[in-house]
């Protein structure tokens, strides 16, 4: 089963830019990926591969989730990317990220290739996690079978730039609503479909980049939309985006405290000493097993975000 790691913010780091590979060490995102794909010009793919492997081996990225995004499976770089990255840096990275995933059969193929490379390098089979991007119409049509196809799959990531191009959406501002679409959210269907597929098969679901790096209000609105639906996090491209995204994808202190209280109250009241009851009162609120499940989601996000409780449960209340 895939590991649930904190991924409120995922920093995209172009592999061809040594300065950014270095600067990424000091940014407070939960996760980051060193990119060999679209942030790297075709002319410098080899150099980027070299830089990314060297940066991963040098380390300094802390205990954040460290991934490498390889080129798409139908590109001429894919095989060399994945082989060289796992052979040379497989023991120091957490995940491989594969863009433009379109079918479950492709995902199974990547999964098997990773397993072969793990075995060849003396790594435990399943040690490396997998993250994939859904970023075109075919990928979205198949997202449910893709989500179910691999145990090592940890997250489904929406790729708005490629997706907007794939469906001919009439906008060039990535992550923003197309002009002329005045009712609702043009991305609602896509986001919801990804989220449901991810939740059905226990995967994290991550929103992609907001390219207007100077428009922090726009970023806030876009992040708030996917966070409210239940997404686990969002990509960031610039240091100014980090704190906003971390904050929006963390539970509030009040929600975190409340969730911990529900868990304690429910544990106490359902235990033999607490009366072995099923539905119980917490203050004016009736809580039951479903409330416990909802509280568990918020409490694990809060713990992952490093929140501390500011109130404690008292069985006398
Ligand atoms: C990210 O890869 C995107 O296409 O938005
Ligand atoms: Mg893309």
Of the residues 11, 13, 38, which should be mutated to test ligand 1's pocket, given the most ligand atoms within 8 Å of the CB?
38
**Which pairs count as long-range contacts for 263-270, CB under 8 Å and 24+ apart, including other chains?**
263/292, 263/295, 263/296, 263/299, 264/312, 264/313, 265/313, 266/291, 266/292, 266/295, 268/313, 268/315
- Give the C-alpha separation, 39 to 12, whole Å: 9
| 90-145 tens-digit pLDDT | 999 999 999 999 999 999 999 999 999 999 999 999 999 999 999 999 999 999 99
Asked if pLDDT for residue 271 goes beyond 90, the answer is no
Eight-state DSSP code of residue 252: P
**Alpha helical stretches, state H, 71-177:** 78-89, 104-120, 137-141, 143-147, 160-166
Domain 9-248, CATH among 3.40.50.300, 2.60.40.10, 3.20.20.60, 3.40.50.10860: 3.20.20.60
Instruction: Compute the distance from residue 106 Cα to the ligand 2 centre, in Å.
Output: 17
Instruction: Compute the distance from residue 313 Cα to the ligand 2 centre, in Å.
Output: 46
The confidence score (pLDDT) of residue 278 equals 79
Asked if pLDDT for residue 172 goes beyond 80, the answer is no
* 256-290: b (≥16 Cβ within 10 Å) or e: bbbbbbbbbbbebbbeeeeeeeeebebeeeebeee
Mean pLDDT score of the chain, rounded to an integer?
93
Instruction: Compute the distance from residue 20 Cα to the ligand 2 centre, in Å.
Output: 19
The confidence score (pLDDT) of residue 4 equals 67
- Structural tokens at position 218: 């726009």
pTM over the 0.85 mark: yes
- Give 317's pLDDT tier (boundaries 50, 70, 90): low
Instruction: Compute the distance from residue 161 Cα to the ligand 2 centre, in Å.
Output: 6
Q: Which atom of ligand 1 is nearest to the CA of 160?
A: 5
CB atoms within 10 A of CB 164: 22
Instruction: Compute the distance from residue 166 Cα to the ligand 2 centre, in Å.
Output: 10
Instruction: Compute the distance from residue 139 Cα to the ligand 2 centre, in Å.
Output: 12
Residues paired with 96 in a beta bridge:
68, 130
The confidence score (pLDDT) of residue 3 equals 58
Asked if pLDDT for residue 1 goes beyond 70, the answer is no
What does the domain layout of the chain look like in residue ranges? 9-248, 253-304
Residue closest to 250 by CA, chosen among 66, 33, 6, 5: 6
CB atoms within 10 A of CB 184: 9
Shortest-distance Cα residue to atom 2 of ligand 1: 159
- Give the lowest-confidence range in 100-114, 150-164, 269-283: 269-283
Please state the rounded mean pLDDT for residues 43-54.
Answer: 98
| 195-231 tens-digit pLDDT | 999 999 999 999 999 999 999 999 999 999 999 999 9
Of the residues 70, 208, 236, which should be mutated to test ligand 1's pocket, given the most ligand atoms within 8 Å of the CB?
208
Phi, psi of 153 (to 5 degrees): -70, 125
Residue closest to 294 by CA, chosen among 271, 270, 266, 253: 266
Asked if pLDDT for residue 155 goes beyond 90, the answer is yes
| 176-203 tens-digit pLDDT | 889 888 888 999 999 999 999 999 999 9
Whole-Å CA distances, 147 to 81, 98, 131, 240, 252: 23, 13, 10, 32, 29
What is the percent of the chain where pLDDT is above 70?
Answer: 98
The confidence score (pLDDT) of residue 238 equals 96
Q: Which atom of ligand 1 is nearest to the CA of 99?
A: 2
The string of DSSP letters for 11-56 reads EEEETT-HHHHHHGGGS--SEEEEESSTTS-GGGHHHHHHHHHHHH
Task: Name the CA radius of gyration of the chain, rounded.
Answer: 21
Residue closest to 87 by CA, chosen among 62, 53, 59, 112: 53
Ligand 1 pocket residues where CB is under 6 Å: 38, 99, 133, 135, 159-162, 208-209
Please state the rounded mean pLDDT for residues 279-308.
Answer: 83
Instruction: Compute the distance from residue 248 Cα to the ligand 2 centre, in Å.
Output: 23
The confidence score (pLDDT) of residue 142 equals 98
Of the residues 11, 140, 162, 211, which should be mutated to test ligand 1's pocket, given the most ligand atoms within 8 Å of the CB?
162
CB 315 within 8 A of CB 268: yes
Q: Any idea which ligand is nearest the CA of 159?
A: 1
Grouping H, G, I as helix, E, B as strand and the rest as coil, residue 179 is coil
């Amino acid at each position: 089963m895939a590991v649930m790691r904190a991924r409120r913010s995922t920093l995209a780091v172009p592999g061809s830019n040594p300065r950014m590979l270095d600067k990424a060490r000091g940014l407070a995102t939960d996760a980051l990926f060193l990119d060999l794909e679209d942030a790297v010009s075709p002319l410098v793919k080899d150099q980027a591969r070299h830089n990314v492997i060297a940066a991963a081996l040098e380390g300094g990225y802390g205990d954040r989730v460290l991934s490498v995004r390889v080129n798409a499976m139908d590109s001429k770089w894919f095989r060399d990317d994945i082989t060289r990255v796992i052979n040379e840096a497989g023991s120091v990275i957490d995940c491989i990220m594969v863009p433009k995933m379109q079918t479950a059969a492709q995902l199974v193929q990547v999964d098997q290739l990773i397993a072969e490379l793990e075995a060849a390098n003396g790594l435990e089979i399943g040690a490396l996690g997998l993250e994939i991007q859904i970023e075109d119409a075919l990928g979205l049509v198949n997202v449910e079978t893709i989500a179910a196809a691999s145990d090592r799959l940890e997250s489904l990531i929406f790729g708005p730039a490629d997706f907007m191009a794939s469906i001919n959406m009439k906008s060039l501002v990535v992550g923003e609503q197309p002009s002329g679409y005045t009712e609702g959210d043009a991305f609602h269907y896509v986001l919801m479909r990804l989220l449901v597929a991810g939740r059905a098969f226990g995967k994290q679901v991550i929103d992609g980049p907001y390219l207007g790096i100077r428009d922090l209000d726009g970023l806030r609105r876009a992040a708030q939309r996917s966070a409210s639906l239940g997404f686990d996090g969002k990509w960031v491209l610039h240091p100014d985006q980090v704190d906003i995204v971390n904050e929006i994808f963390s539970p509030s202190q009040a929600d975190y405290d409340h969730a911990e209280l529900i868990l304690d109250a429910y544990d106490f009241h359902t235990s033999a000493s607490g009366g072995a009851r099923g539905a119980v009162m917490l203050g004016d609120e009736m809580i039951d097993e479903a409330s416990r499940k909802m509280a568990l989601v918020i409490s694990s996000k809060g713990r992952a975000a490093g929140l501390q409780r500011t109130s404690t449960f008292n069985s006398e209340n």
